[in-house]
Amino acid sequence: MKKLCSLALAAVLAVSMSAVCSAKQKDTVNTDGSTSMADVMGALTEVFREKEPDITVNYSGTGSGSGISGVLDGTCDIGLSSRELKQEEMDQGAVAHVIALDGVAVVVNPKNTVTDLTTEQIADIFTGKITNWSELGGADAPVAVYGREDGSGTRSAFEEIVGVEGACVYTNEYGSTGDVIGNVASNENAIGYASLSAVDESVTAAKVNGVIPSEDTVKDGSYTIQRPFVMVTKDGVELSEAAQAFLDFASSEEAEEYIRAAGAVYPN
């Protein structure tokens, strides 16, 4: 009799453990996409973990294009894009939820004296028409043009806004915003672009058409090289309760202070 009771208890425990594991699996939210959104995602997930300790939000930074593809093919719950959705992506069911705005800063080495550029000059630099800093009143030194890899949301936004889409001549291309900043910081002759939220004292964010990139100038539109930070879902696919809760939080007014603390701009 005792043996039967023990077996019955073991069976109940096994079922209970299975239910717990299933519940934990359901309470995991997988996000994937833009590396430029890393700081914003870090801030939001940290606060959300305190609000909802039973929900785990995972973040993978593989690039905007990959994140959008991931949500469309079902390999992640929420995609992350640091550019507007393309028409063909929306035709496949991609739905944009803008949670923040971000300036794309044009960054140079702190030793560079050229710190105010027009949009036309930036276009000429990145398409190879201007190849020496002396042409802009700077040192007699060749310009090293750094940018992101093909498929990056930052690259797509920058090239589209500046009007150089598909025409850039890069000295080097990098897989993350951090790599661009780090390499501009180590080369006096380099220029690149990076999410404003990721810019630190190791580089100088140049004025564009006389306007310094900042939260205020992005929000009022006077700094023109800017793009949205987007959470992407798929039309007709219902999110899990956990994923919906995270999306609702990230889109709420409650998230404003954390988005701003991460260096991005609250859109409303």
User: Domain of 201: which CATH number?
Assistant: 3.40.190.10
pTM: predicted TM-score of the whole model, two decimal places: 0.74
- So what's the pLDDT on residue 263? 86
Amino acid at 202: S
Beta carbons within 10 angstroms of residue 117's beta carbon: 21
The C-alpha atoms of residue 190 and residue 11 are separated, in whole angstroms, by 66
The C-alpha atoms of residue 241 and residue 260 are separated, in whole angstroms, by 26
- So what's the pLDDT on residue 75? 97
In a shared domain, residues 119 and 194: yes
205: tokens are: 């964010």
Q: Is residue 22 part of a domain?
A: no
In a shared domain, residues 97 and 113: no
86: tokens are: 């393309």
In a shared domain, residues 153 and 88: no
The C-alpha atoms of residue 64 and residue 56 are separated, in whole angstroms, by 22
In a shared domain, residues 110 and 198: yes
In a shared domain, residues 135 and 154: yes
Question: What average pLDDT does range 60-88 have in this prediction?
Answer: 96
The C-alpha atoms of residue 64 and residue 4 are separated, in whole angstroms, by 56
Q: Is residue 14 part of a domain?
A: no
98: tokens are: 């803008």
In a shared domain, residues 205 and 109: yes
- So what's the pLDDT on residue 26? 52
DSSP state of 253: G
In a shared domain, residues 202 and 241: no
Tell me how many domains the chain contains.
2
Mean of pLDDT over the chain: 90
In a shared domain, residues 109 and 152: yes
- Reply yes or no on whether the pLDDT at 142 is more than 70: yes
Tell me, rounded to whole angstroms, the distance of Cα 154 from its chain centroid: 8
148: tokens are: 């992101």
- Reply yes or no on whether the pLDDT at 190 is more than 50: yes
Q: Residue 49: which pLDDT band, with cuts at 50, 70 and 90?
A: very high
Tell me, rounded to whole angstroms, the distance of Cα 4 from its chain centroid: 57
In a shared domain, residues 217 and 247: no
In a shared domain, residues 62 and 80: yes
In a shared domain, residues 126 and 166: yes
Question: What average pLDDT does range 219-241 have in this prediction?
Answer: 95
- Reply yes or no on whether the pLDDT at 36 is more than 50: yes
- So what's the pLDDT on residue 18? 39
Average the pLDDT over each of 18-22, 32-36, 39-43, 111-115 and give the range with the smallest value: 18-22
Q: Is residue 33 part of a domain?
A: yes
The C-alpha atoms of residue 181 and residue 147 are separated, in whole angstroms, by 10
Question: Is there a contact between 124 and 51 (Cβ–Cβ < 8 Å)?
Answer: no
In a shared domain, residues 200 and 108: yes
- Reply yes or no on whether the pLDDT at 16 is more than 60: no
Domain range for residue 153? 103-225
- Reply yes or no on whether the pLDDT at 224 is more than 60: yes
Cα–Cα–Cα angle for 45, 241, 197, rounded to 5 degrees: 25
Question: What average pLDDT does range 23-31 have in this prediction?
Answer: 73
Question: Is there a contact between 83 and 232 (Cβ–Cβ < 8 Å)?
Answer: no
